[in-house]
Structure 1
């Protein structure tokens, strides 16, 4: 099959979250199965330095009055995956991140930036002759590409099947109606059964309503978003379209995330050499000038620092556990009050707590290899990737039972690979962390859980067939 895969971020070119990891790995896994994939994303500042030399350039004109939209054909050097980069200096070449300025505020013209991307995506889906390649399937991801489904709808043409994947329903890409005319979309689409969203218009809702299939990144999350608690105002829309909704768990690229192969950690190890993990633990403690006593557990956080991730709960619970000898290593950025809260904790416990604000890929690997347990007490979690990485590194996750965490981490019987709690409150998290510490001191039981964790296969190869089946079912219709 020929699949046009559209995303606003793709690892290793640019990454702010799990979407980039998926967009960087799923297409590669599909190509390995013999399918013909082309990616498309914006040419943000600095991206051209990370790809192979441009092979072809196509001028799509200036449909939005902000400058010509140029499609640049190249490929990702790491894995040779073909990619089209959409270049428009006024829209994409900015010194800050792909969505927000240096103060963390959304760019005022995000509606236009991603409408332009979506227009280009829809144009390629419809007119494959432009690039001498006609896709069979269009795969959209999140709100930034959802407008593409709206363009194809508004042009009133027969088009290839559309799959929209929701990586996080909370980010719905909704904008003020005063900005709608900038998109050049038909006002006919602005109904409650279209892309209208509580008096605004939404890129994600467009991607949902006008898709032929909707997927989320875990089976449990696909069920949760049908409820008001998790539906973020779209649960009614989704309940009306349940027949085209399914959940396919994200996978992991074990070429990058495996302690046996990882070139970014001090000491490689595997299930038969689990004792070597201690070398990474000691190196991590030394790197952070923390107490080097290996007889106490080291908890870790690698995450956006937000209430969604339940990281306000960790701040409340952690002091009592630090008093019992635990250590904590944190990597992430997000809400300023949480950032300052963790920095204050570090100041109070300098021998036991290390905090780095920001995201550093190399360091995240060293954390996964060096800590004993990873904290993910999320209030909701569409899939979660860090717990999947942790399992392979014999780092036991402590998670709330929600979304993809509920599908992958278990504290029971033969599946036992971590620590699970149900309610999003301090007491439930504290009890789970105390169970974790008690298990840590029971060496045989801890090692058995570690070995269980490492045996799980969450590779992309294991889930790719589900994607192939979904695409094929749409073509068969």
Structure 2
């Protein structure tokens, strides 16, 4: 099977969130099973330094009037995965991140930047002779590539099966209608059952309505987005498309995320050598200059600092535990008032709280290995990857029961591997934290949960069969 996988970010080339992890791992897992998966993404600033030497370039012309779109054929060295980088200096070679300028605002031409990516992906899927390789399936991810489904629709290319994966419905790629003229798309697509979205046009809605299959990143989230609470204005559309909607849980690359082989942590360990986790705990406290009393629990946060992630709740709930000797280690960036709130908490508890604003891949590994419990009190969570990493490291997640968190973390019974609460409020989080503390002080109960957590297999290899089955069903149809 030949699949063209289109994404706006791919780890290890560039990453702002879970999409990059998925785009960097699922194609690799499929390739290991013999399927021919190739990638396409923009050639952002300095990206060429991170890939193998360019093998071939193809000029696709200047369809949007901003400069030639040039496809660069190369591969990702770490996995040897073939990738086409879409080069256009005017669109992609910028000093800031892939979506936001240096002030944290969306680039004003994001509609055009990702229209170009989508157009190139659709062109490759339809005209394989350009590259000597014809895709059987085009796999789109989030709004940044959703426009590709609209291009294929406008070209009447219904024979190319399209899968659209929603990693987070809240980011719908909605733009003012005045920008639609830039898109090189027919206005016939701008109706209620097309890509029109509350007076704007939406890349994500295009990817949904013109796809042959829609997937989300967990089974529970697939059901949640059919409701007004979680549907973000697209629940009506999704209900009408429910026949082609399914939830497939994200996986984890255990080559990158396993305490037994992790090169970033102080001491490797596994289920049979859990006592060595203590050395990572001590090393993490020393790295952050915190009190080295390892008899008290360390809570951790590795996340975007947003209210979606429920991290305003943590600010209110955690001081009570800090007063009892617990520690808190935070890594993340996001809303300025939350960043300020955590930095203030650090100033109030300088020997118990460490906060780093930003994201550092190696440090995130050391946190997972060194903390006792990971806090993920999300108001909604399509899948979540950090709790999957935590489980493998014997770090117990404290989560709200939503989306992928509900599918992967359980508090009661034989498969208990963490702590779960239902309501998105401080009282419910506090109660879960109290249960977590109680379990921590009961070493037998805690270690039993740790071993349960580490025994779960959330590898990509465990879920690729569902993807193969989906692709094959579309091809046969």
Distance 2:153 2:476 in 1: 21
The Cα shift of 1:285 comes to 0.3
Question: Residue in 1 aligned with 2:426?
Answer: 426
SS of corresponding position for 2:365: helix
Aligned to 2:9: 9
1:154: which partner in 2? 154
**Alpha-carbon offset, residue 459 of structure 1:** 0.2
Match of 1:240 in 2: 240
- 1:131 maps to what in 2? 131
1:6–1:40 Cα contact (<8 Å) kept: yes
User: How far, CA to CA, are the matches of 1:27 and 1:44 in structure 2?
Assistant: 20
Q: 1:32-431 residue pairs with structure 2 within 5 A?
A: 32-431=32-431
CA contact (8 A) 1:152 1:159 kept: no
- Specify the SS of the correspondent of 1:229: coil
Contact 1:125 1:159 in 2 (8 A): no
Contact 1:172 1:204 in 2 (8 A): yes
In 1: Cα distance, 2:364 partner to 2:433 partner: 21
**Unpaired segments ≥5 residues, structure 1:** none
CA distance in 2: counterparts of 1:245 and 1:290, whole angstroms: 47
Q: In the aligned structure 2, how far is the partner of 1:157 from the partner of 1:148? A: 11
Number of residue pairs aligned between Structure 1 and Structure 2 = 477
The separation in 2 between residues aligned to 1:476 and 1:120, in whole angstroms, is: 25
Q: Please give the secondary structure, in 2, of the residue aligned with 1:414.
A: coil
SS at structure 1 position matched to 2:230: helix
Give the C-alpha shift of residue 415 in structure 1. Answer: 1.1
Preserved contact between residue 8 and residue 42 of structure 1 (Cα < 8 Å) = yes
Encode CA deviations 1:172-205: one digit per residue, 9 max, x unaligned: 0000000000011100000010000000000000
**Shift in Å at residue 158 of structure 1?**
3.6
On the 8 A contact 1:13/1:50 being kept in 2, the answer is: yes
Q: Secondary structure at the match of 2:454?
A: helix
Residues in 1 aligned to 2:267 and 2:220: alpha-carbon distance in whole angstroms = 36
Provide the secondary structure at the position in 2 that maps to 1:228. Answer: coil
Task: For residue 435 of structure 1, report the CA deviation from its aligned partner.
Answer: 0.5
CA distance in 2 between counterparts of 1:254 and 1:46 reads 28
What is the CA distance between 1:103 and its match in structure 2?
1.3
Q: Matches of 1:162 and 1:68 in 2, distance apart?
A: 26
State yes or no: 1:442 paired with 2:447. Answer: no
What are the Cα deviations for residues 392-449 of structure 1, in whole angstroms up to 9, with x where unaligned?
0000000000000000000011110000000000000000011101100001110000
Rounded to whole Å, the distance in 2 between the matches of 1:148 and 1:59 is 19
What displacement does 1:102 show? 1.4
TM-score, length of structure 1 as denominator length: 1.00
What is the DSSP-based 3-state SS (H/G/I as helix, E as strand, rest coil) of the residue aligned with 2:37?
A: strand
Q: CA deviation at 1:157?
A: 2.9
1-structure distance, mates of 2:430, 2:158:
55
Secondary structure in 1 aligned to 2:229?
Answer: helix
TM-superposed CA distance for 1:388, in Å, is 0.1
2: CA distance, partners of 1:243 / 1:157:
21
Q: Deviations over 1:93-149 (max 9, x none)?
A: 000000001111000000000000000001001000000000000000000000000
Provide the rounded CA distance (Å) in 1 between the counterparts of 2:157 and 2:474. Answer: 18
Q: 1:146·1:204 contact (CA, 8 Å) conserved in 2?
A: yes
- Superposition TM-score, scaled by structure 2 size: 1.00
Query: Structure 1 CA distance, aligned partners of 2:85 and 2:164?
Result: 20
SS of the aligned residue for 1:230 comes to coil
Q: Which runs of 5+ in 2 are unaligned?
A: none
Partners of 1:20 and 1:4 lie apart in 2 by 16
**CA-to-aligned-CA distance 1:361-410 (integer Å, 9 cap, x gap):** 00000000000000000000000000000000000000000000000000
Q: Distance in 1 between matches of 2:156 and 2:378?
A: 42
Q: Note the C-alpha offset of 1:155.
A: 1.3
What is the deviation of 1:160?
Answer: 1.1
Deviations 1:245-269 (A, max 9, x none): 0000000000000000000101000
RMSD over aligned Cα, in angstroms? 0.4
Distance of 1:156 and 1:404 partners within structure 2:
36
* Mapped partners of 1:32, 1:137: distance in 2: 18
Secondary structure, aligned partner of 1:182: helix
Partners of 2:142 and 2:298 lie apart in 1 by 35
